[in-house]
Amino acid sequence: MNYPNGKKKSIHQSSIKHNQEYSNRGMSLEADINVTNTYYLDTDKAVIHKKPTPVQIVNVKYPKRSAAVITEAYFKQASTTDYNGIYKNRYIDFEAKETRNKTLFPLANVHEHQISHMESIIRHGGICFFLIRFSIFDETYFFPAEKLIPYWYEKQKDGRKSIPYQQIKQSGVLIPFHYQIRVDYLSIIDKLYF
């Protein structure tokens, strides 16, 4: 086939481009969740938003009258989880994590204040979970907080510092990628909670 630039596009070039586009989805879990949440909001399925991180601005420079540049700022407090909202009259709260590791999900980025927050949500009847993406495999799993919390406490007692990939694969639910609803976690919530 001839294209406007006069060059023929080989099948090999086409498949390479497709694979590059597919692989570039790695390390973009948050972007995929934001697209999904916009779809949920636009279709009136749920109201779920990314929580803003509270920041204390300390210093601002004004290089132009019309522009301000923040030169120094600090986090006011540790944030809890990434997203929250409401779906079918239930409070939804979750954390998104991504790893390039092939064999495990490290617990180093899950903090005590997050675990306390999640335990509170569960105690009050909310739905709390992790969305964990293994970017090497391009797989995203729905992993209930109730299943992750025991691993975190084991880590605190000088136990295992991670969750094996196979365990997440077995105990979590794989979320297939779709164009419009990239990380359709509500379909998993429907199966598990409703």
Contact 103, 136 (CB under 8 A): no
Q: Is 114 annotated as a binding residue?
A: yes
Q: Is 56 annotated as a binding residue?
A: no
Q: Is 146 annotated as a binding residue?
A: no
Residues 6+ apart with CB under 8 A from 6: none
- Among candidate residues 168, 169, 170, 173, the one with its CA nearest the CA of residue 184: 173
Residues 6+ apart with CB under 8 A from 140: 29, 32, 131, 132, 133, 134, 174, 175, 177, 183
Residues 6+ apart with CB under 8 A from 74: 55, 56, 58
Backbone angles phi, psi at 32, to 5 degrees: -65, -40
Mark residue 72 as left, alpha or beta (left: phi above 0; alpha: psi -120 to 50; beta: remaining): beta
Contact 132, 172 (CB under 8 A): yes
SS3 (DSSP) at 8: strand
Binding residues: 80, 82, 95, 114
Binding residues for Mg(2+): 80, 82, 95, 114
